Structure 1
């Protein structure tokens, strides 16, 4: 049985584009296409059968959407689908072992729409031993194919990678562009594998000869592939001059290891006005704007919109079935013989107790040891609402969080209304002066700071 081309889908635009690309690739390879959805993205202990049934129903809906997209674009593909239970990265790694090639969207659905994403794809790429293709949702030119670029390490050339590149170029009738990056000798000694020639041009010629010798056997096996190899495609990495980091750079470097986000109340102390101006300047460097909500009436209006967004998320947009089933699973009476779980009553699922409810206090519970304060309320906006604007907003957010963390300030997010179109429109019309709101957040000093959990380096890198 031929190994299929596997495309992971999660309902995002990137995953649908990946499924469409995988369908055409499966036809070129004369292999079946398998659509895979990992439906238990964030597993929780003790969930009942009702919640699991809701997850399966959502998975079938996502797969059906992808099937319609694939069949409309490539009706000749042999198609089947599958569901996988468990964390997405582990499920995709297992599926890749039986796949001819695994196709993923470059970014998937995430809690902060348009900003964070791609963590699953990066986790798969870092650990998988089979070919993986990442597909973007941006429109691609329809006429012809671009060159197939083969990155090769001449110190340890991987035969599987070289053969995959030649085979892909032949199937697509594209040119193969071979690239090798070599490092110039350091000021004290030659680097590993460096050719000890003085002139850079001579050294490049030597590396080009090695590259040609490595590719000659494969070119004989694939004579119909047009191979490009010349000095213009050799990258040079050289030593740069050392510059001592400035105090501001050292401060930001120290902030990298600190937590940038917090939940709950902040201390009464407000962020310094100078810091707010600094954050505005950093955000503007990325083409975004930071809107501070100072007016009490605007805060109350924003709090109502946050509450409405939370209510909309608690009842699913397709009629509330999923939200009600999940709520029923969490509040159902405990059956005999099952372990007791901590369950919040339906009235305490944060419907009216947002940090913005009152202009100067955050009251999630009756008793607190510190004065509960909201902090500085702000919105991050852009003048456009396309992929480039989302990227600019994400970069502006990272700049703002890093500089805030350098002064001990953290952020709490309230993005629920931004994922409901009518609520987002109201925020745009009333609070961001016509700009598209990309983030709702509070800034303040947390009552306590816990260090970020760090895994040992050996657990991350082999």
Structure 2
């Protein structure tokens, strides 16, 4: 293991892995700065990619940046490094989210390194999944993935799953009455693929998934009523596998930890042959968010609702070039 500062090419490769993380509307709200003489990589929030209507407190922004930070840790471990991370190192600059000393002491984390192959295989799949339960041994690995990042994962019972689906419908109804929210979704969801073939962010039309037929589904309709060429209809699973990811507290540092836990769960799920998608719709309305919490669990604050199962892999979403988001000093 090296203790010397890393060369720029190596850091660029690590940042490319970090930026394969999921983020709200695939806004990719992160920026990196490498201090080469110190071997320090800093993570910043990009306020120009915040979603003020959907995410007014920037909770989702912190989750996405936390997920990118976790990918950085995984890629670093796979490269034989043992990075040391500090969250929110400067209270005077809240957009300065984390500082990572890349050539840290100690040995690389083998468990993290083994997740590296899942980074670029993980894509949100908004297609129907098979109505098939997740084996207990796989669930146990997902529970442990969340616990390893100081978070909690809960698979709610059937009655609570139904209530979550109802909350998703209620949130959709609220969204139809909020033109400013719909406009923000339309900005990032590219319904006309031919016009946005050059896009480096946002949700491409091919990733919207089909329109749902019959029963409700835990899948956001990014079309927002707009026509999408070639988009069909499908019936979704009647008994979806839904997991709630949460934390004991609800401050920016907790959101960053939750983002790391979220990505660890998603990569673990991908490695175990599952496909996943996320929804934050019922968490975007304060009057709904507290109801999403499973009252049978000790979870205090739900940070994300995860749909998991067996089905087709989702398409890759566009990514920003590393040169646009990495500064080297």
Alignment match of 2:120 (pick from 239, 257, 282): 257
1:37-91 residue CA offsets vs partner (Å, 9 max, x unmatched): xxxxx9xxxxxxxxxxxxxxxxxxxxxxxxxxxxxxxxxxxxxxxxxxxx999xx
Please give the root-mean-square deviation of Cα atoms over the aligned residues, in Å: 5.0
Q: How many Å apart are 1:254 and its aligned residue? A: 1.7
- Which secondary structure does the structure 1 equivalent of 2:163 belong to? helix
Q: How many Å apart are 1:308 and its aligned residue? A: 1.2
Equivalent position of 1:444 in the other structure: 309
Q: TM-score, normalised to structure 1's length? A: 0.38
Are residues 292 and 454 of structure 1, via their aligned partners in 2, closer, same or farther at CA, if it must alter by over 3 Å?
same
Equivalent position of 1:408 in the other structure: 273
Q: Does 1:300 align with 2:162?
A: yes
- Which secondary structure does the structure 1 equivalent of 2:155 belong to? strand
Q: Is the 8 A contact 2:274 2:308 kept in 1?
A: yes
Q: Is the 8 A contact 2:168 2:281 kept in 1?
A: yes
Q: How many Å apart are 1:407 and its aligned residue? A: 1.3
Q: How many Å apart are 1:140 and its aligned residue? A: 3.1
Alpha-carbon separation, structure 2, partners of 1:352 and 1:303: 13
Alpha-carbon separation, structure 2, partners of 1:311 and 1:299: 19
Q: How many Å apart are 1:431 and its aligned residue? A: 6.0
Q: How many Å apart are 1:300 and its aligned residue? A: 1.4
Are residues 413 and 432 of structure 1, via their aligned partners in 2, closer, same or farther at CA, if it must alter by over 3 Å?
farther
1:72-114 residue CA offsets vs partner (Å, 9 max, x unmatched): xxxxxxxxxxxxxxx999xxxxxxxxxxxxxxx7343257353
Structure 2 residue runs without a partner (length 5+) = 1-24, 30-43, 68-87, 94-100, 186-194, 196-209, 220-230
Alpha-carbon separation, structure 1, partners of 2:127 and 2:322: 32
Q: Is the 8 A contact 1:381 1:393 kept in 2?
A: yes
Count of residues in correspondence between the two structures: 222
Alignment match of 2:176 (pick from 305, 309, 314): 314
Are residues 291 and 140 of structure 1, via their aligned partners in 2, closer, same or farther at CA, if it must alter by over 3 Å?
same
Equivalent position of 1:47 in the other structure: none
Equivalent position of 1:419 in the other structure: 284
Q: Is the 8 A contact 2:247 2:301 kept in 1?
A: yes
Alignment of 1:194-233 (within 5 A): none
Q: Does 1:286 align with 2:225?
A: no
Alignment of 1:143-222 (within 5 A): none
Q: How many Å apart are 1:399 and its aligned residue? A: 0.8
Alpha-carbon separation, structure 1, partners of 2:257 and 2:145: 12
Alpha-carbon separation, structure 2, partners of 1:384 and 1:400: 19
Alpha-carbon separation, structure 2, partners of 1:408 and 1:115: 24
Q: Does 1:140 align with 2:92?
A: yes
1:235-286 residue CA offsets vs partner (Å, 9 max, x unmatched): 9x79999x8x96x666422212202421131123432211111111110121
Choose 1 or 2 for highest CA Rg.
1
Q: Is the 8 A contact 2:122 2:267 kept in 1?
A: no
Alpha-carbon separation, structure 1, partners of 2:241 and 2:297: 16
1:271-329 residue CA offsets vs partner (Å, 9 max, x unmatched): 2211111111110121111010122x21111111111112222322xxxx5468899xx
Alpha-carbon separation, structure 1, partners of 2:166 and 2:133: 23
Alpha-carbon separation, structure 1, partners of 2:318 and 2:46: 25
Q: Is the 8 A contact 1:315 1:322 kept in 2?
A: no
Q: Mean alpha-carbon deviation: is it higher for 262-271 or for 423-432?
A: 423-432
Q: How many Å apart are 1:351 and its aligned residue? A: 12
Q: How many Å apart are 1:453 and its aligned residue? A: 6.6
Are residues 139 and 277 of structure 1, via their aligned partners in 2, closer, same or farther at CA, if it must alter by over 3 Å?
same
1:168-215 residue CA offsets vs partner (Å, 9 max, x unmatched): xxxxxxxxxxxxxxxxxxxxxxxxxxxxxxxxxxxxxxxxxxxxxxxx
Are residues 415 and 352 of structure 1, via their aligned partners in 2, closer, same or farther at CA, if it must alter by over 3 Å?
farther
Q: How many Å apart are 1:352 and its aligned residue? A: 8.5
Equivalent position of 1:115 in the other structure: 63
Alpha-carbon separation, structure 2, partners of 1:294 and 1:405: 23
Are residues 384 and 459 of structure 1, via their aligned partners in 2, closer, same or farther at CA, if it must alter by over 3 Å?
closer
Q: Is the 8 A contact 1:283 1:397 kept in 2?
A: yes
Q: How many Å apart are 1:425 and its aligned residue? A: 1.8
Are residues 304 and 446 of structure 1, via their aligned partners in 2, closer, same or farther at CA, if it must alter by over 3 Å?
same
